[in-house]
Structure 1
C-alpha cells in the first residue's frame, strides 16, 4: 500500500501551491466518503509510492464546516505515515494554532514554514528555524512554495523515515491537571489518543461527547472537573483551551522570533490603508472591475474576438467549408448543418474566447497578488450592514469563473440557513459562460459604451444584497449571519506560472465545453430551427423551434423579447449559458457576425437587449449548476425553491429595465408600465416594508 502524507494548513497559507510543486498538479479528484467535499491526491514527483493527500484548508480542528470535519477525521483515523503542516511565516501566531491541534493528535509531523521570501522582504521580523523546531519538538523547514525555494530539502525530510516522537504541547499547569483527571476516565481507549479525547471532552466538543462511550459516573466526574476549571479560570472550558494554546504560542514566538520593529508599517499595510479604507474601498473596487471589463470586452480582448468572428468564423472557415462541400457534392441539408449549425453556432461562441481569456488573466492577477482577498474583507463589512455573512462573497468570487465550484465553495459557511441562502444567490454573479452574452449585447447594442459590461457584475452584487435583505426577513433564513474570519496575505507580484496555469485550465474548460455539450446543442437546435413537424427542411419561421417557442414567447413580452428566437435562446441557456449566442445565430439563419448583429438591432430595442442580458444573468443557471445545487441542498424541494426564486427575481428586474427604457424612448404601453410598477412595488415591499421575522425557525424542509 502506498505511503500517505496528509497536507494540512490554513486557507491562504500556500498549501495548494506547495501541493502543485510536490506533485506536479497531477491530481486524483473525488469526494470523501459520506460527504460532498472534494478530495485531491497526487503522487510525489520524486517517489511515486508516496501519495500526498491534500486536506481541505482549515483554521482549526474544532469542526463546524464539512471541510473541517473531513480534515479532523482523516488526521485521527486515516491511514497516513506523517503530516505536512504548511504554515504562513508572515502570520505565524495564527497558523501555529492549527499546528498545536495537529500535535495534540500525536501524528508524526513536519512543519513547512512557507512564504519565507515574503517575510524577508518585510525586513521587520526574523525567525530562527532551529529554535522554532526546538520549541515545537518537530522538524521545521523554511520554504517558498511559489518560488520553489528549499522545496527539495523539504522532500528529503518527507522521504527520510521520521520515527522521532515529540512531546505533546504542555499548557497551563491547572489545565494539565484537569486534562489528567479526564484522561484517567479514558483507560478503555488507546493511550496515544487519550490526551486528544481529554482535550475535546474538556472543550465539550459535541461530536466527541456523542462518540465517547462513558458511564454515568465517568460523565459526572468529567463534568465536575470541567466545572471546577471554569470556576478557577472564570471562563468557559473551550475559551480556556483557546487561551492556553495562544499562551503556548506566545512562548514559542518569544523563543524563536526577533521583531526588529513591532510598530513599523510594511508596504502591504500602507496599500491596505487605501484599498480597504472605509470610504475609498468600494469606489476603488468599482474602478478596478470597470478596468477589468474594459480591457476584456472593449479593448484588448475585442481585438482577438473581432478577428475570430469576422475573419476565421465569419468568412474564411465558412467559405472554405462551402467550397469543399460543393466539390464533394454534399447534400444541401448537410452543408447547412456544417456551415450554419456547427461552424456558425459553435463559432459564434468560440469567437468570444479571447475576451474570456483576457478576463481570466485580469482576475487571475488580482487573485494572485492578494487584492481579491481584500475585496472579500471589504464586502464582509458591507454585507454585515445588511445582516449577511461575508463568507458568502468567497463563493461569489469563485463563481465568476464557473458557478459549479462557486456553489461547492459554500461548504465553508457554518450556518445552515446562510449556506442555503448563499447557494441560491451565488449564481447571480456573471460566470465565464455569461460573459459571451455580455459581450454580444454590449458589442451589438452599446458599441463603445464601457459601462455595460461591468454593470452586469454590479447588478449581480446588488441582486445578492437585495435578496439577502429580503430572505433574512423570512422564517427560512432568519437569524444572525455567520462570522467571517480570514487571513489577508501580503501583497506580492503575481507569478507568471500561476497565472498562465489558471488561464489555460479555465480556457481549456471553455473550449472543451464548446466542443462537446455546446456542439451537440447546436446540432439539435439547427435541426429544430430548419425542419418542420413533417421532417421537411423549411425556413426558420416555419420550423419546429418556432412552433414550440412561439407558444411560450408571450411570457417574455414585458421584457421586450417576446419572440420565439429570444425564447429559444433563453431555454437553450439552461443547457449552457453560451448556447444563448449560438441559438440566436442559428435562429437568425447564420451569416457573418456583422450581419447577425444587424439583425439583432432590427429585431430588438437596445434596452430590450439589455433586459435579455439581465434576465440571463440572474435567472436559473445551467443544468450543471442546478445539479450541483441539488447535490449541496440534498433536497429536491430546496432546489426548486432556488430555481423559482432566481427566475422570479430575474423576471421582475428585467421587466423594470425594459419598461424604463421604453418609457424614455416613448414606446411604452399602459399595461407594460403597469406590470413594471407592480414589479417595482414587490421589490420595494420586500426590501423596505416587510418586517423581519423575530423567531428563527430551525425546522429543516
Structure 2
C-alpha cells in the first residue's frame, strides 16, 4: 500500500532542494485543483515501500489568509498524509516553529528536518537536537538538503515513523487558554464530531472563516457557535486583546521558551561571506549596476555556450529539409506533400527548435540566480528605484517572473495587497521580455550584429524594463493616484545551488518551449503554409498567394519603421498567437534550405530596420495566452483592450524613433 508524505515549510528553507534530491526526475508538476498555485508531486521507493511525496506550497502558517495557506492546510486535513516532514531553517528556528505548533495542533504525524545546520554554526547558533525532540515530542533530524549523507538519516527516520505512527502530545498555551480550548473541544464532540477537535476548537475560537464555512451548515453548529462566541468574548475580556493576537502571542510565548532551552549561541565568526556580498549586492549605489552586470553576463555566457549547438541545430534543420525533399520527390510524392513536410513542418517548426539551446542555457542561469538567493536581492535593490517613481515595490517580483513567461508573472500579482497595485502591475508586465521573444532577438542579433549579440539583446531587455517602469510611473500619476508602499521581504542567505536542482528547474521551464513547438507552432505553420499555397496554382509564398495578399494589405503600416515587406507583417500578425511563431513564419514562407534563415533575412533587412523590428517584437501585443490571463485577472474587457491598444501604440512609436532617428544620425 502506498504511503503519502507531505513536505511542509516556510519559503526559502530548502524545501524544493530536498524534494528534488528525494525524487530526482520522478516528479510531476501541475496545479492544485481549481488553483493557479503550482503543485509538485513525486515518487520514492524506499526499502520496499512506495511513497507518494507532495511538496506543499511554502507558507509561514496554516491560517487561512492566503491561497498557499489554504491549500497546505486543506491538503493535510482532507488527504490525511501518513507523515508530514517539516523543513526548518536552523538560522531562523524561532520563526519556523510557528508552523510547527500548528501542525502539532492538527494532530499530524510529524518529523522535523532542520536544514542549513552548517550555516547556523558559522553564525554561532548551536541547536540541541535531542532536547528539541523531547520538548516537542517529535523526531528531529539535522540535514543539509543537498547532501545525500544526511538524507539517508532522514529516510531512516521516515521509514521508522511510517511503521510506528505517533501523534505528538498537545502544546500548552497557558491555563486560561487551555481550559477554554478544552471546553470548546467537548462541545464540538457533542454537537459536530470532528476529525481534529483540538484544531477545530482553536480555529473556531480564532473565528477562522474557512473552518466556519466548512461547518456552518451542519446540524448543531448554531448552538456550538453561540458557546464559542461566549468563550472568545471571555478570553478577550481577560487578556484585553483580540483573539487572534491572544493565541498568536501564546504560540510565540511557547516558542520563545522552547528556543531558549534548545539554542545556544557561541561567539559569532567574522563577517560571513553572505554579509560581505550583500554589502555590494544591496548597496544604495552599486546594487542596480551590479544587477545589470549580472544580466549582461547571463546573456553573454548563454550565447557563448549555446552558439555551437545552435549552429549545429541550424545545419541539421537545413540538411533535413534538403533530404526530405529529395526522398519525397524520389517517391513521386505530390509537390504539396513535399512542400508541407520540407517547408512547413521541418522549416517552420525546425526554425524555432534551433533556439532550444539558447532558451535552456538562459533558464539555467536564471535558475542559478534564483536558487543562490541573488534574485531576491535584485528585487530589493530595484524596489528602491521603483518606489521613488511611485510604483509599488512588490511589483518588481512579478516583473522578474516575466522574463520567463508573462502568464505566471501576471498570476503572481495576486500576492499584491490592493486591486490598484495588481492592475497597475498587470498593465506593465507585458513589456518584460518573455523567453518566447528570445529566438527573435537571437536570430536578428546574430544575423546583423554578430560581434555584439549579447550587448544588443541586453539593451533590448533593458529597454523593456525601462518602458515598463516609465509606463508604471505614468499610470500611477494619471490612472492610479495614491501612495505606494515599500517592499518588505526576506533576503535568504546565499547558497550554492546543486547541479541536479538547476537542471530540474531548467527542464521544468524549458520543456514548455519544446511542447509549444510540437503543438501550437506546428499547427500555425501548417495554417501559414496552406495560406501560402492558395489560390491553387499560385507560386508558393508569393505576393499573389493569400498570405502575401494579407501581408501586403498591412505592410504600409510598418513602412515608416523600416520593415514594410509583407513577410514581416504576416510574421507579426501570427506572432500574436505565440511569439515563437514569428520565427516559425519566416521559416515557413522562405525556402531556407542549407543556407539558413539568417542569410535570407540579411537580404530583407538592414541592421537599422532589424533593430526596429526587434524593438517592435519586444513591445507589441502580448500573446493570446497572456491576453486571456489579463482578462481573467482584471475581470475587465476594458483593461484587456487597453493593454492591446497601448502596447501596439508604444511598440510603433519606439520602433519609429529607432528607425527614423537612426536614419537622421546616418545609420542604415
**Is this a same-fold pair by TM over 0.5?**
yes
C-alpha change, 1:648 and 1:95, in structure 2 (3 Å) is farther
Q: Given that residues 522 and 582 in structure 1 are in contact (C-alpha distance below 8 angstroms), is that contact kept between their aligned partners in structure 2?
A: yes
Query: What SS does the corresponding residue of 2:191 show, helix, strand or coil?
Result: coil
Q: What is residue 272 of structure 1 aligned with on the other side?
A: 278
Q: Given that residues 67 and 411 in structure 1 are in contact (C-alpha distance below 8 angstroms), is that contact kept between their aligned partners in structure 2?
A: no
C-alpha change, 1:54 and 1:549, in structure 2 (3 Å) is same
Alignment partners' CA distance in 1, 2:72 and 2:163? 23
Q: Given that residues 178 and 225 in structure 1 are in contact (C-alpha distance below 8 angstroms), is that contact kept between their aligned partners in structure 2?
A: no
State which drifts further: 282-291 or 410-419: 410-419
Alignment partners' CA distance in 2, 1:63 and 1:345? 49
Query: What SS does the corresponding residue of 1:138 show, helix, strand or coil?
Result: coil
Q: What is residue 469 of structure 1 aligned with on the other side?
A: 473
**What pairs up with 1:124-143 in 2 under 5 angstroms?**
124-143=124-143
Alignment partners' CA distance in 2, 1:620 and 1:114? 45
1:437 Cα deviation (Å)? 0.9
Q: Given that residues 418 and 482 in structure 1 are in contact (C-alpha distance below 8 angstroms), is that contact kept between their aligned partners in structure 2?
A: no
State which drifts further: 440-449 or 136-145: 440-449
C-alpha change, 1:506 and 1:36, in structure 2 (3 Å) is closer
Q: Given that residues 13 and 88 in structure 1 are in contact (C-alpha distance below 8 angstroms), is that contact kept between their aligned partners in structure 2?
A: yes
Q: Given that residues 135 and 255 in structure 1 are in contact (C-alpha distance below 8 angstroms), is that contact kept between their aligned partners in structure 2?
A: no
TM-score (norm 2): 0.87
Match of 1:225 among 216, 222, 234: 234
C-alpha change, 1:192 and 1:584, in structure 2 (3 Å) is closer
Unaligned runs of 5+ in 2: none
Query: What SS does the corresponding residue of 1:620 show, helix, strand or coil?
Result: coil
Match of 1:524 among 520, 523, 527: 527
Alignment partners' CA distance in 1, 2:149 and 2:44? 17
Q: What is residue 564 of structure 1 aligned with on the other side?
A: 566
Alignment partners' CA distance in 1, 2:627 and 2:613? 20
Q: What is residue 253 of structure 2 aligned with on the other side?
A: 247
1:61 Cα deviation (Å)? 1.9
C-alpha change, 1:223 and 1:173, in structure 2 (3 Å) is closer
Unaligned runs of 5+ in 1: 668-701
Q: What is residue 288 of structure 2 aligned with on the other side?
A: 282
Alignment partners' CA distance in 1, 2:655 and 2:245? 50
State which drifts further: 389-398 or 478-487: 478-487
Count of residue correspondences: 657
Question: Does 2:305 correspond to 1:303?
Answer: no
C-alpha change, 1:558 and 1:106, in structure 2 (3 Å) is farther
C-alpha change, 1:354 and 1:30, in structure 2 (3 Å) is closer
1:497-517: CA deviation from partner (whole Å, max 9, x where unpaired): 222333344444433432333
Alignment partners' CA distance in 1, 2:310 and 2:197? 63
Match of 1:394 among 393, 397, 413: 397
Question: Does 2:443 correspond to 1:434?
Answer: no
1:33-67: CA deviation from partner (whole Å, max 9, x where unpaired): 44343433333322565322322111222233222
Question: Does 2:585 correspond to 1:579?
Answer: no
State which drifts further: 139-148 or 457-466: 457-466
**What pairs up with 1:97-246 in 2 under 5 angstroms?**
97-120=98-121, 122=122, 124-159=124-159, 160-171=162-173, 176=178, 188-190=191-193, 193-201=196-204, 203-208=206-211, 213-214=221-222, 218=227, 221-222=230-231, 224-225=233-234, 227-229=236-238, 231=240, 236-246=242-252
**What pairs up with 1:488-503 in 2 under 5 angstroms?**
488-503=491-506
Two-structure CA RMSD over aligned residues (Å):
3.4
C-alpha change, 1:650 and 1:197, in structure 2 (3 Å) is farther
State which drifts further: 377-386 or 59-68: 377-386
Alignment partners' CA distance in 2, 1:354 and 1:478? 44
C-alpha change, 1:82 and 1:397, in structure 2 (3 Å) is same
Question: Does 2:87 correspond to 1:78?
Answer: no
1:280 Cα deviation (Å)? 0.9
Query: What SS does the corresponding residue of 1:582 show, helix, strand or coil?
Result: helix
C-alpha change, 1:420 and 1:82, in structure 2 (3 Å) is farther
1:286 Cα deviation (Å)? 0.5
1:606-641: CA deviation from partner (whole Å, max 9, x where unpaired): 343223222222333333444444555566665445
Query: What SS does the corresponding residue of 1:111 show, helix, strand or coil?
Result: strand
